[in-house]
Amino acid sequence: MNVINKKNQQEMQLKTHTLAIIQITRIGDLIQTVQAVTDLRKLHSNYRLVLIARTQFAKPLQFILDQYFDKVYYLDTGSLNFNSPTGSIKNAVNSLDHFLDEIKNENIDALINLSFSNSSSYLASCISAKHKIGAYFDLNNKQQINDKWSQMLFSTVMRGSLNPYSLVDLFKNIIGVKPLSPKTTLKTIPATIPNIIMYPFASSERKVWKAEKWVEIIYKTLKDNTKCTITLVGAKNEILKSQIIVENPLLKQFSARIINITGKTTIEELSNHIASSKLFVGHDSMVGHLAAFHCIPTLTIALGNVRPQETTPYQSNAITLSPRTKCFPCFPSDSCAYTQCHHDIPYQIVNNIIKNLLEDGVVDKEWIQKSNSNFHLSSVNIYKSHFQNEYFNLENLSDGSSEIQDLFRTFYKITWSFVLGDLEDNFPFPKLTPSTHKELLDALNGLQHLFELSEFGQKYSKYILEEISSQTPSIIKIKEFSKKIDEIDNLQVMVLKTAPLLGPIVDYAKVRKGNLFGDNIVKLTESSYYCFEESAQITRIMYELLQNTIAEYKISQGKSKSNGDLNK
């Protein structure tokens, strides 16, 4: 024990700073966290890197975590016996104190919360560190988020589907590592019998196809690709579901080529299976992230509340299919009786892509148009990933015109990268349809209102500062100006009624205003002024992007007009 401690101490002395990351969510998030810290390890090998994670999710991944973190602290909530009369508050607090004391010895320089749940925020507030990044609660039980990337994540990821970034890139930005694109070449497994790892399950019903659909996919895959095998993988609670698939009479003739290891492997064994496979096919899951970790090609079927931009496996050439259903992606809390999105991805497209990938073919726009029927393509988006400016990017290969959500994600990506990341990102002008053109015009009006409101916000913040610095400051006047600022905040929210696609701008401003810096009225007002200034900058950039896109559309339509007429 002493020897180990001595070794640990020596190691700690060699490291200049200690960074601790809180990631207490699921296995998939842990793998994405590992992908985010890979660059940190490369660039700052002198940092001591510590992970705080929940035992139930992190222990099965220990074989990976130990390669990237100097130390992992396992929070074992199972041992707290929440539902047992034998558990007492005193024992639970003692157990928690013991856990926190161990972490305290790390003398953490920066504590980074990447989980964004209430429990992780409370945990962050209980751990002492010189600096805290990400969400934590203060002693007034108010959630604090002081860094801009976490504020952006909180305001866009948590509230809608307009976040343009992969979670891995957001984690990298929050940690403060300049994104480096990972290994770009996918592994080509030279196997005589190519194996497909298939995960036809997900954490909730709305994210997963019914068994019959997967039976069709498996049947067609094995029929069309006579040499390949399929390995069905999953957790213990998915054994029954896997049996429903493999025991379907349609698949009886292929039973020798279907290997069902659902519930039979540890994550480490599963990881080894994946590493020697040709392809991953399945729903959004940690299995897909594990495949990306091993650079194995992936084909993901995104349904329900899955957001492809955020959780597509983090590697180049990852393919994701998502439905064009109007309500996709939904929220887990939305009620849904018909799961229309489940019917909008035809299995024929899935099978065509599998065949192409098994033959080491390229999935690009040309192949998609040539090899798939327009009827099948009409209800599905086919995304392919690549790295642009070191950021993960999903390109929609389906057809010429983009959907409005895709358009806005691109605009937001350019804007956030410029404002928060000081990075100039370039994308080709998207093709508009008459309907997306109209929506952009509506958004232009909304942006104009938001810009004016931000200007007013700066003006009234300035008035307050001037009043305070005058010889006889008037409390009444300061209160009046503050009231005006409150009105501006409310009016910004009102703009969303007519321009809901501007939600991320307003939500980000709200989170920023909720986390002003300073402990006196001068500092707080200065901070408020900078918030409005930043808000004006964001709206100005977005306005310019929309304006130029509309101008390009008009030129392409042969209706070029002067800039002044653009929003008419």
Partner 1 sequence: MNTLNEDLIKEYERIKKLMTNGESLKIDDLKILLLAQLAEEDSNERHQ
Is the CB of residue 271 less than 8 Å from the CB of residue 294? Answer: yes
Radius of gyration of the CA atoms of the chain, in A:
26
CB-nearer residue toward partner 1: 240 or 494: 240
Question: How far apart (Å, rounded) are the C-alpha atoms in residues 226 and 61?
Answer: 34
Of the candidate residues 55, 62, 81, 527, the single one contacting partner 1 (CB under 8 A):
81
**Residues contacting 546, CB < 8 A, separation 6+:** 411, 440, 443, 444, 447
Residue 344 C-beta-side C-alpha neighbours within 13 Å: 21
Q: How many residues does the chain have?
A: 568
CB-nearer residue toward partner 1: 122 or 530: 122
Determine the straight-line distance between the first and last CA of the chain, rounded to whole angstroms: 76
Torsion, CA 183, CA 188, CA 190, CA 195, rounded to 10: 120
Alpha helices in 51-117 (DSSP H): 55-58, 62-68, 89-104
- The distance of closest approach from Cβ of residue 362 to partner 1 in the complex, given in angstroms and rounded to an integer, is 39
Binding mask 158-197 for partner 1 (x = CB under 8 A): ----------------------------------------
Backbone angles phi, psi at 461, to 5 degrees: -65, -40
Contact set for partner 1, span 190-209 (CB under 8 A): 203-204
CB-nearer residue toward partner 1: 96 or 419: 96
Query: Helices (H), strands (E): how many in the chain?
Result: 22, 15
Number of residues that bind partner 1 (CB under 8 A): 27
CB-nearer residue toward partner 1: 24 or 153: 24
Tell me the CA distances in angstroms from 94 to 24, 120, 267, 270, one per residue in order.
20, 19, 32, 36
Of the candidate residues 97, 224, 269, 360, the single one contacting partner 1 (CB under 8 A):
97
Contact set for partner 1, span 274-333 (CB under 8 A): none
The answer to whether 5 contacts partner 1 (rule: CB under 8 A) is no
Of the candidate residues 88, 184, 188, 435, the single one contacting partner 1 (CB under 8 A):
88
With residue 300 as reference, give the H or E element that holds it. strand 298-301
- The distance of closest approach from Cβ of residue 94 to partner 1 in the complex, given in angstroms and rounded to an integer, is 10
Stretch that binds partner 1, among 81-89, 222-230, 340-348, 423-431 (CB under 8 A): 81-89
Contact set for partner 1, span 116-145 (CB under 8 A): 117-119, 122-123, 125-126, 137, 139-141
Tell me the CA distances in angstroms from 115 to 34, 123, 358, one per residue in order.
13, 10, 36
The answer to whether 66 contacts partner 1 (rule: CB under 8 A) is no
The answer to whether 55 contacts partner 1 (rule: CB under 8 A) is no
The answer to whether 92 contacts partner 1 (rule: CB under 8 A) is yes
CB-nearer residue toward partner 1: 136 or 412: 136
CB-nearer residue toward partner 1: 45 or 118: 118
CB-nearer residue toward partner 1: 98 or 370: 98
CB-nearer residue toward partner 1: 93 or 240: 93
Q: Copy the structure tokens of residue 143.
A: 């959630």
Helix 503-513 and helix 475-498, axial crossing angle in degrees, nearest 10: 150
Residues in contact with partner 1 by the rule CB under 8 A: 77, 80-85, 87-89, 92-93, 96-97, 117-119, 122-123, 125-126, 137, 139-141, 203-204
